[in-house]
Structure 1
Amino acid sequence: MKTTTRSATSVCSSCQHWSNASSDQGECRRHAPQMLVFTIDAETKFESRFPTTKAADWCGEFEEK
């Protein structure tokens, strides 16, 4: 089994697409927001949100700030 070690510089908090909301959580703005559809009291609601990630998370589309 292959293990991968990420450097501290290739995490979400160091990515140009990340917008931090707090010290350890933020939104990935690499792609357009995702549409959310849900029902409350028999009424359908629509919202769009960017994916929420932790500062230490990472993905394969990292771009340095």
Structure 2
Amino acid sequence: MQTETTTETKACATCTHFKAAADGNGECHRRAPQIVTFQVDENVKFESRFPAVAATDWCGEYSA
């Protein structure tokens, strides 16, 4: 007797925390955005951003 098994791909693309961008990748909204700093001319700028992830990435906090 042969049993059939199915495997579910738990990648970012199918996670409820994933917010897709136009290029197919996106952001992970599982946690609060992170503060990032960058320099523009002589000024330091601050922004908050969600982590950028590829649709094929995965983590231990996947949620269907």
**Structure 1: distance between partners of 2:14 and 2:53:** 12
In our comparison, the structure showing a higher alpha carbon Rg is: 2
The corresponding residue for 2:4 is none
The corresponding residue for 2:54 is 54
Structure-2-length-normalised TM-score: 0.80
Task: Note the alpha carbon deviations across 1:10-55, whole angstroms, 9 max, x for none.
Answer: 0001100000012520110000111011222111101111111111
> What count of residue pairs does the alignment treat as equivalent?
58
Structural RMSD (CA): 1.5
4+ residue runs of structure 1 moved beyond 2 angstroms?
none
Structure with greater proportional helix content: 1
Structure-1-length-normalised TM-score: 0.79
**Structure 2: distance between partners of 1:57 and 1:11:** 6
